[in-house]
Amino acid sequence: MKRNQLGKSDIQISELTLGCMSLGQNKSAAKQIIEAALDAGINHLDTADLYDFGLNEQLIGEIVKPYRNDIIITSKVGNHFNRETKDWYWDPSQKYILGAVKNSLKRLQTDYIDFYMLHGGTIDDPIDETIEAFEQLKKEGWIRSYGISSIRPNVIRQYVERSNIDGVMLQYSLFDRRAEEEILDLLHEKDISALSRGPLAKGMLSSQGEAQIDKKAVEGYLDYNQEELRAVYKELQHFTSDSLPMHALALKYVLYHPAIATAVFGASSLAQLQENMNFNHSQKLSEIVYHQMQQVTKDGFYTAHR
């Protein structure tokens, strides 16, 4: 599987990333999924300290310990949580970040995190203090690189201008193209990688897309109402084939933009993982098909956090 450089760092991540949030707590099942992903060429696992209130990191740490030197681990910080009460609050302070990373390292059974991300962010945060915390962790060797996970243009621009981030994780798919002009082009210009989460739009861009639209989009999805989603899905089916099923089309679309280093998808079963990875990774969309797909979908625009 192709690997791409993460920003200006020396980290190379596979063009597909296994998002681990939906792995659950069955260690045997999770181990099957992770090992199958690694066997298929995925080298990048994405988690966060808040997922299952630390248990997701703990699960991953137990499973990947034998392969630690062969994989890239991303985790996130900023949600100050209590595992016993299941409560949390936003805390991007330097003090919290410097303490939280030690807990993540312990749960992950590692002495460094490859890519550490702020798990959100607002324009009212103490941004310089947050950046200072990440820079300190990088200098001390606890992390190799850092970035933010956000869809807020005003926050992303602040980090682009004021920090040395190597990546931004944002929601991006054929059904959510808001990032394309305003954010992706900016990141590409600054040599900052984008990590696309939700590339299959909650499964609405999969082989079971019509059923998922009926189930998950009763109230619509972003700028689309349910009927529009059904109509667009049928239009997109014209671009699919036996060798290019819907999920592959959706993944190849987000990977087309040069800012995108990886598409992050989740899997709660081995069958789901295998289906999502079952396509020709070397075949790239043609420019003509790429623009035709844009014509049948909405470009979108961020209306909040200007």
Active site residues per annotation: 51
Which CA distances in Å does 99 have to 44, 145, 162, 274? 24, 17, 23, 37
Which CA distances in Å does 102 have to 20, 96, 212? 20, 10, 39
